[in-house]
Amino acid sequence: MKNYLVKDLMVPISEYAAVPVGTSLVEAIWVLERAQEVYTENKFQHRVILVFELDGHVVGKISQLRVLKALENEREFDNEIKEMRKFKFSEAFIAHIRDQFSSQKKIIKEEILREVAAKKVEEFMQTLTPGEYVSEDSAIDTAISKLVAGAHTSLLVTRDDEIVGIIRLADVFAALFHEIVSLEEGYPVFPSSPLGFKIPEVS
Amino acid sequence: MKVLRQLFKRIVQRVNINLRELNFDVSPFAVELIPLDQMSKFYAFYGITPDHPLDLHFEHSAIAGSYFLGKSRVRSSIVYKSDIRGDELKRKGSDVNFKKFILTLTKDEIIDIEDSILIKTLVHNYSHDPETPEKFFIKDTLAMDYANIHGSPSDGCFLGPFATVDLTTMRDCVIGAYSYVQAGEISHLKVDPGTIWVNSNNNFNFFYKYPEGTLEHYVSLSPDKVPWGILIDFIEERKSEFQRVFDYVNHEVIESIPKTASLDRYAVVLPVVTIADNVLVAQRAYIENSDLGKGANAQENCFIINSTLEGNNVTAHGAKIIEADLKSNVFVGFNSFLFGKKESRLTINEGCVIMPHTIVDIEVPLEIPPEHLVWGLVRNGEELAENSISLEKLSEIKSIFSQGKMCFEGNGAMFVGAFKERIHHILHANGAFYKNWENAGHAQKNQRLSLNTIQPFQFGVKEGMYPNIKIQP
């Protein structure tokens, strides 16, 4: 693998969809929609919304999965799952009661959608853990380790104490894939990544 | 009483240190729990029998109103109105089998209570911990009213009122009120009140939790209050009858008891009671106007009122049977509360297993079909349908099953088999199958038991404490 650094593959923070704490889910989705509209121009497909404090400090992120989780929002069910694990029930059993529960509860109902739309982002955002930060000067290997270890889809990129960007799993994978195919003679070498993201030249 | 107060404070601190990870503070419960001024009012007593070693050791402890049998040691502890029954402890020379290991005991097993507070608690059976086969330890533990520590060594634990831990080694655990745990080994676990959990690794796992808001009516616990609820009231209402049996040294003998049956002199028996062959009535059991058929037993803290038990019935520690008719071979688990009424009797047919900590509280007559397992809260036929299953159907379960709030995973046949085997073992141990001088159990052996009493300091800084005593043959 070429000596890529994290900053070579990151998306600058300024180009990312972000909302302050206190924003409702419906407002956050509007922000994401607007960001998607300019997708064709800057090639950055937004799947995550960042949540920041009023002082600009990023405190969490909301993925599409997180929004679906907010829709499901069955605290009682979550507790039941935790309890099942605590009392040594298998994942197969948990899947069984999850199915049972899902069959009893309809998620897509107007009242539930309205309730969720009014929720504040901080109620269901994913708070950031120490393993989700990576320095912009780190080698891409460090980012791969952190993505794999935490099963993250993106990492926040730091310069000193400041967050300057995001490095996404898809971009890291694209770069890696590009390298793999270029190793083998006879395999087609793509001029840019299959996802359309241009691999920057590295000196 | 200064020494007693210091001891109390020290034990509470030790329990709290053990439970710090669970962020559980026993202090508020303990303050109201222990009536220190009562500790000088009751004598302690111990059994002497040729069938069990006499080896008792009390040191720096208060043991008011408690009963001791077999080999036990109590150090720096408060044991109040509790039963420490060492009649099932392992004996020197016996083999302990665990997986591929066979360990021969080089000495008799001992119940070793240290730095603990046990209030109206039953300690029975033997240590099931293969790591300590010769020591059934209870250390840095606080057990509240009517808790059962049954074959369960304990280190750094809190047991709420009516909690039972059965055949399980526990370390740094909180067991909520009216919870039943049988899981082999647990540590750093907080179990909510009203949780019934029976787990045998890789074999089966049974779980039920009382629906929120339903248990409080029966037993409640909150900081700075003594436990309350119907179960507590029920016992309190009959307290004076126990006072009477404890006040007299020699009791009138009830002549109608067969020679093969045993009625403890510290049991309450109120007319009209009939007792058949091989019946065992343990101390602190309460029998009123009931028939106990051949081989039936009533263990410690049981109440059987206006009821009939046809025969070979197990009424486990703390179970209560009121206005009920039980056919033969019915098992009623620990602390179950079968609350029939005069106009709405409860009938339980042959071979039923009432899970530990089951509550049946009915206002219309209810009949439980034969060979059924019943658990949780049952107040009517609808709840019975939700909280019961035939043993045949349960035996067919191979992996995953849930019904109402009950969850089951594993091999149903093994679960049923384990229960049946244990019930048979209990009946055998209690002497239910005694015939022609064979299969003698507690019912027969207890007849060769005499009791001695010991008294606490009545005055001075040691008021309520007991002298250091060693009792050996």
Closest to A21 (Cα-Cα) out of A58, A67, A47: A58
CB of B38 within 8 Å of any CB in chain A?
Answer: no
B225 and B361 belong to one structural domain: no
| Residue A58: DSSP 8-state | E
For residue B399, list chain A residues with Cβ-Cβ distance below 8 A: 92
Domain that holds residue B41: 2-235+449-471
Same domain? For B429 and B457 the reply is no
Flag whether pLDDT at A198 surpasses 60.
Answer: no
Residue A97 at interface with chain B, using a CB cutoff of 8 Å: yes
Contacts B188 to A, Cβ<8 Å: none
Q: Is B402 on the interface with A (CB under 8 A)?
A: yes
The amino acid sitting at A8 is: D
A with B: how many residue pairs have Cβ under 8 Å apart? 27
pLDDT in tens, chain B (473 residues): 899 999 999 999 999 999 999 999 998 888 777 778 889 989 999 999 988 899 999 999 999 999 999 999 999 999 999 999 998 999 999 998 888 889 899 999 999 999 999 999 999 999 988 889 999 999 999 999 999 999 999 999 999 999 999 999 999 999 999 999 999 999 999 999 999 999 999 999 999 999 989 999 999 888 777 788 999 999 999 988 888 777 755 555 565 789 899 888 889 999 889 999 999 999 899 999 999 999 999 999 999 999 999 999 999 999 999 999 999 999 999 999 999 999 999 999 999 999 999 999 999 999 999 999 999 999 999 999 999 999 999 999 999 999 999 999 999 999 999 999 999 999 998 899 999 888 988 888 877 888 899 999 999 999 999 999 999 98
Residue A186: predicted pLDDT:
57
Average pLDDT over residues A77-92: 88
DSSP state of B365: -
Q: Determine, for residues A84 and B407 on separate chains, whether the beta-carbon distance falls below 8 Å.
A: yes
Are residue B30 and residue B127 in the same domain, yes or no? yes
Task: Specify whether B168 is located in the same domain as B276.
Answer: no
pLDDT tens per residue across span A108-122:
778 778 888 888 988
Q: Does B213 touch chain A (CB under 8 A)?
A: no
pLDDT score for A75: 56
> B159 and B281 in one domain?
no
Which chain B residues are closer than 8 Å to A98 by Cβ? none
Cβ pair A88:B205 closer than 8 A = yes
Residue B197 contacts A where some CB pair is shorter than 8 Å: yes
**In angstroms, what separates the C-alpha of A74 from chain B's closest C-alpha?**
16
Count of the separate structural domains present in chain B: 2
**Band of the pLDDT at A177, cuts 50, 70, 90?**
confident
Tens of pLDDT, residues A133-173? 999 999 999 999 999 998 888 899 999 888 888 898 988 98
Same domain membership, residue B438 and residue B335: yes
User: What pLDDT score was predicted for residue B237?
Assistant: 93
User: pLDDT at residue A188 above 70?
Assistant: no
Can you list the pairs that B316-323 forms with residues at least 24 positions away whose Cβ atoms lie under 8 Å?
Answer: B316/B356, B316/B426, B317/B122, B317/B124, B317/B148, B317/B150, B317/B164, B318/B122, B318/B146, B318/B148, B318/B162, B318/B164, B319/B354, B320/B231, B320/B234, B321/B290
| Spatial separation of the C-alpha atoms in residues B427 and B431, rounded to whole Å | 6
State which residue of chain B sits closest to A98, comparing Cα positions.
B402
B402:A97 CB<8 A:
yes
- Mutate which: A77, A81, A87, A98, vs B, most B CBs within 10 A: A87
- Shared domain for B245 and B184, answered yes or no, is no
Q: What pLDDT, on the 0 to 100 scale, is given for residue A39? A: 58
Output the domain CATH number for residue B130.
2.160.10.10
Residues 406-435 of B with CB under 8 A from A: 407, 409
pLDDT of B315: 95
Q: Are residues B316 and B337 in the same domain?
A: yes
Contacts of A84 in chain B (CB under 8 A): 207, 407
d(CA B58, CA B111): 12
Q: Are residues B315 and B456 in the same domain?
A: no
Residues B153 and B247 in one domain: no
* CA–CA distance, B235 with B284 (Å, rounded to integer): 11
A86–chain B Cβ distance below 8 A for any pair: yes
A33 pLDDT above the threshold of 50: yes
Q: What is the pTM of this model?
A: 0.83
Nearest to A93 among B189, B209, B409 (CB): B409
Looking at per-residue confidence, does A28 or B139 come out higher?
B139
Say whether both B371 and B455 belong to one domain: no
Say if residue B125 is in the same domain as residue B273: no
Give the position of tokens 């039963």: B83
| Interface contact flag, B205 A89, Cβ < 8 Å | yes
Residue A78 to chain B, least CA–CA distance (Å): 15
Q: A180 falls in which pLDDT band (50, 70, 90)?
A: confident
CB-nearest partner of B407 from A86, A89, A92? A89
At B377 the pLDDT is 98
Whether chain B has a CB inside 8 Å of the CB on A79: the answer is no
